[in-house]
Each structure stands twice: as C-alpha cells, then as structure tokens.
Structure 1
Amino acid sequence: MSPEGLDNELVEAARAGSTAAFARLVERHQAPLRAFLRRTCGNWAQADDLAQETFLAAWSAIGKLESGASVRAWLCGIGYNKHLSATRSAGRSRAREASYEAHRPASARPLSDERLALEAALAELPPDQRACVALCLAADFSHAEAAQALGLPLGTVKSHVTRGRTRLLQVLGGSDDGS
C-alpha cells in the first residue's frame, strides 16, 4: 500500500474515533513536522512544544481534513499557524514588558547589581517574613491589608516587616536611620 493510501486509511479510522490510528499518524509524521518547525522557528524546544500543540489541534480537527488531502501538508499548515501565533504572542509580551519598563519611574528601576543583591537578600528571609516585606514594602500594602492577605495576625505582620527591613538593610549595607 502506498504511504498516501495508508494515511487515508488511518485518517478514516481516526475520524471514527480510533486513537490507535491517530497514534500511527503521529508516529509517521512527527519527525518531519518537528524538522519543519525546527527550521521555521530556529528553537528546538519551542519546535517540540509546537509539534505537540499541532497534534492536539489535529486530533480535534481530524474531521475537517479533506479526503485524499496530504496529512503531512495539513499538519505542517497547522504547525506553521501555531508558530505564527506563538511569535505574535511573544511579540505582544515583549511590547508589554517594554511599555511597562518605559513607564516605570526611574526611582523604581534599581541597577541590575542592586536588584540581584536585593533578590539574594530576600531569598535569605524566612518565607512569612519575605511575604510580609514583599507586600508592605514592595507592593505598598498596609500592614492590615497584608495581614488579611496572608492570614496572619496584624502584630505578626508588623514584626515581620520590621525584622525583614532591618535584615535587608544589614545585607545591603544601608542604614536604618529613616525608621
């Protein structure tokens, strides 16, 4: 039997609900689809993810495949559309991030070394203390709002913020003269 004839039989069986037939289609076409997507997007991991998304979409749309149509071409078309969607989504994400960075006040943009030191210092705090510091000092929550969000007593939140702030200032070499 020709490869196209086998594909047609497998498509018909998959349309009838045979997951085994669809699995055979996946086996037959996954290597060429992945190779196409790797060449198209230039990122092997992304290509593998897109191939999986392609096969999921193909399973849902197997009934729309015209009889006698090339399964490989159909899968590559779905994969290419998945690639285009992912590219557009990544572009929108980069644009949002750039817009966010552009509209942040300069004082809110610490230098990268400062940011790394702050992240490392935060990681050293106990989890409850880190959460209180993150909410009250970084996210401008009141102590009462942080207590409600974290389900902690108000006094505990105040204590955690005070201790966490002191510890961060020690690690970062600042002084605590503004308390």
Structure 2
Amino acid sequence: MKTLTDLSLIAQAVIGHNRRAFDTLVRKYQSQVRRFFLHQTLGNEFLSDDLAQETFIRAWLGLGSFRGLSDFSTWLLRIAYNVHYDYLRNRKETTGLDSLPPGGEGMCEQPPLDAHVDLYQALALLRPDERTCMTLFYMEDLTIAKIASVTGLPEGTVKSHLSRGKAKLSNYLKQHGYESA
C-alpha cells in the first residue's frame, strides 16, 4: 500500500470530507502532540490527553485554513501551543496563582519512575515559554526557526529561552546527583 503524504491526506479531508484521511493524520502525529503536552503539564496524563484531543478537534475544524506554508507537523504544534496557552490563561482567570500546586501545573497522581520524576521536577522550574522551547528543541528535535514558527516568538527570544532553560536544568540536575559524564 502506498504511503500518502500529509498534503494528499489534507486534500482528501478538506475537499472530500474524508474523515479516514484525517484519522491517518491523527494516528501519525498523536504521539508527538501528546508527548509535547506531557512535558508541558509535567506528566499529567489525563490533562495531556484532554489537551491533545482539543488540539485535534481544532485542527479538524481549521484544516481548510492550512496553506502548506510550513510542514503540517509545525502547523499542528502551533495549534497545540495555542491550546496549552489558552488552558494556562483560562486557569489563571478561574483559579488564581495562589491555588496552583507547588512546582507547576499539576503532577500526575501516580508519578512516573525515578528519572521521569526528576525531569518533571526540573521542568517545573522553568517558565512556560522556556519549557515549551526546551521541549520542542530537545525532545521534539525542532530547529530554532520551527520553534519560532510554532510559538510566534522571534528566533533570538527562542535562543534566550533555550539558553536560560538549559542553565536552569543543568543546575538542578547537578544539585540532584546527575553529573556530566
């Protein structure tokens, strides 16, 4: 069976209202989107799943506006970034900063094992934009230009967030027994 390109799947979904074509795109990118949210929510699997679902709903509704000026994955991550930003903004409006749990946006009730716990605790030290840039660069392997496209930040700001985030993570990990080899 011939593998369909993202653009042909998008065309089938938009022009022919082919939900199976969009389902193929969802299956192709759901791990990447969910992983992005897991790092942004510091391991909260339920919230990550909810935000990923919202991302794909928005992508389906806005698929006709995809112009192909960037990769579909970049466009989809931009939607994911906006979904997370909307979540943070709405949460601040409804809960206030005093009611946030210490260390971030909420940990998973059953935390992951050892190194994952340290990683999420380290990521909790970062500001949201730093965490987003670090996640996209180191965990999703995006270029600085693509991160700028996803976040809407200038490339210089992305570089600054990466530099500050790397320094904060390095200090945290050194303090907790992770030495450079």
More helix as a share of residues: 1
Instruction: Determine which structure has greater relative contact order: mean sequence separation of CA pairs < 8 Å that are 6+ residues apart, divided by chain length.
Output: 2
Q: Which has the larger radius of gyration?
A: 1
